[in-house]
Amino acid sequence: GSTLLRLGRADDAIPDLSFMIEKGGDKVLPADYGNRAIALTEVGRQSEAAADFAKVETLASARIAADGGKDASDFINRAFARALTGNPDGAFADASQALSISPNDGAAFHARALAYAGKKDTANALADFAKAISLGRKGFILRQRGDLYLAAGLPELAIADYQAQLNLAPGNALATAGLEKAKQAMAAKLLATAGAPQGGNPPAASGSQQAL
């Protein structure tokens, strides 16, 4: 299930991850719930994903309390859960703690990028996305960075990331929707640029207003 998710095959990953969660007993880890939550998010089943992210928070917190916070993965899993459920400050704290334990962990940079994005800190989010990608981080990171580019008014960069994500995960619904929004934003941006006055001269008056 984890491998299928890394390959961008969220639909195929869900049954295997569910089997593990249902049958794994005490071998089930926060990451199993986290992976299924991410897969559910990618296929549009957000309410189910929220329940799994809540389970990640509970299990990871218990593990951190039990071992004194020695395992970076527990902080990373909780950081993703918090970042993707509207708690960017908590996610940032967890991702930063993970990086203090494991300074070159691509997943920790990825989680912190999502936290920065949630805090509307675009520059630091982009820096962490780039670092995570340089460390080999895969999954749906390109689509997530595309979302950030789109929100920052950079549709041309968003288009490139969404298309790259779709090359890796054909048919991904969120990347497909994002690509369409980015293309619309790019068209509007080009139209606004084309309609701007050139050379500082005001446009000639006419009897009717021109649609923008």
208 or 75, higher pLDDT: 75
Which pLDDT value is given to residue 194?
Answer: 83
State the average pLDDT over residues 34-45: 94
The percentage of residues in the chain with a pLDDT greater than 70, rounded to a whole number, is 92
User: Average pLDDT of 101-110?
Assistant: 97
Give pLDDT, residue 209: 40
- Residue 133 to residue 128: CA distance in whole angstroms: 8
Whether pTM exceeds 0.85: yes
Mean pLDDT of 98-120: 98
Q: pLDDT digits over 155-192, tens only?
A: 999 999 999 999 999 889 899 999 999 999 999 999 98
Structure confidence at residue 134 (pLDDT): 97
Nearest of 139, 147, 137 to residue 116 by alpha carbon = 147
For residue 208, the model assigns a pLDDT of: 36
* Average pLDDT value for residue range 52-74: 96
